[in-house]
Amino acid sequence: MSNLEPTLPLEGFTGDWPDFSLVENFLGELVSLAVAQDEEIAFNKAFKKTFGKTPPKPSEIIAVKGGYAMWSSIGQYFILLDEPNIEADRELASKFGNSAYTTLQSDGWTSLDLKSKKPYDILERFIPLDLRAAQIGFAARTMAHHIAVVIIKFSETEFRLMTPRSSAKSFLDGLTHTIENVIA
């Protein structure tokens, strides 16, 4: 076992405001799957076999065996696995064979869970997408102010915000500033 202790980018931030809570959680493992050219059929077959479902559609995240699968780009998916497994990319690569290329991305992102009865009061000041109209299970890569973010709508009161690790502090500053602006 490794002697090195992992750290979270925001050191496990938790914040509570009237009506809003924000918590940094361990993301789990995030692996990107890029579909090899002309291998879509094999890929879909391997996806079904591995995760028990067909791949998600654009702007969609679906629960799959072991976690979630999210459409991230044309011919590319993010697999979010619940359990820590630093070899997840290699294991998935072996399951998908020549039909996909895998890249470990877990450490590139920071995960913040926003819970609120009125999340849109915050999110409409932070993210340009129409999240009110978005379905449960909506996921998209977009911008929050000027920082990249993946937003996932788990329910009408629960959202996950994933942002690049290196700028996570600025992202958190921007988000908490927005929350404070809203409740002022």
Q: Does 133 bind other proteins (CB under 8 A)?
A: yes
121 CB neighbour count, 10 Å cutoff: 15
Q: Does 141 bind other proteins (CB under 8 A)?
A: no
List the end-to-end C-alpha distance of the chain, in Å, as a whole number: 48
Return the closest-CA partner of residue 80 out of 29, 44, 33, 32.
29
Least Å distance, CB 45 to other proteins, is 18
Return the closest-CA partner of residue 129 out of 149, 109, 108.
149
Q: Where are the beta strands (DSSP E) in 97-137?
A: 100-104, 109-116
Which phi and psi (to 5°) does residue 43 adopt? -65, -50
Least Å distance, CB 122 to other proteins, is 10
Least Å distance, CB 113 to other proteins, is 18
Q: Map tokens 């999210």 to a residue.
A: 70
Q: Where are the alpha helices (DSSP H) in 1-159?
A: 40-51, 88-96, 119-123
Q: Which of residues 152-181 bind other proteins (CB under 8 A)?
A: 164-167, 169-171, 173-174, 177-178, 181
Least Å distance, CB 133 to other proteins, is 7
Q: Which of residues 49-68 bind other proteins (CB under 8 A)?
A: none
Query: Of residues 20, 22, 32, 179, which one binds other proteins by CB under 8 A?
Result: 32
Least Å distance, CB 5 to other proteins, is 5
Here's the x/- map for other proteins, 78-117, by CB under 8 A: it reads as --------xx-------------x-xxxxxxx--------
Q: Does 145 bind other proteins (CB under 8 A)?
A: yes
Amino acid at 9: P
Largest CA distance in the chain: 54
Q: Which residues bind other proteins (CB under 8 A)?
A: 1-9, 32, 34, 36-38, 75-76, 86-87, 101, 103-109, 124-125, 127-130, 132-133, 145-147, 164-167, 169-171, 173-174, 177-178, 181, 184
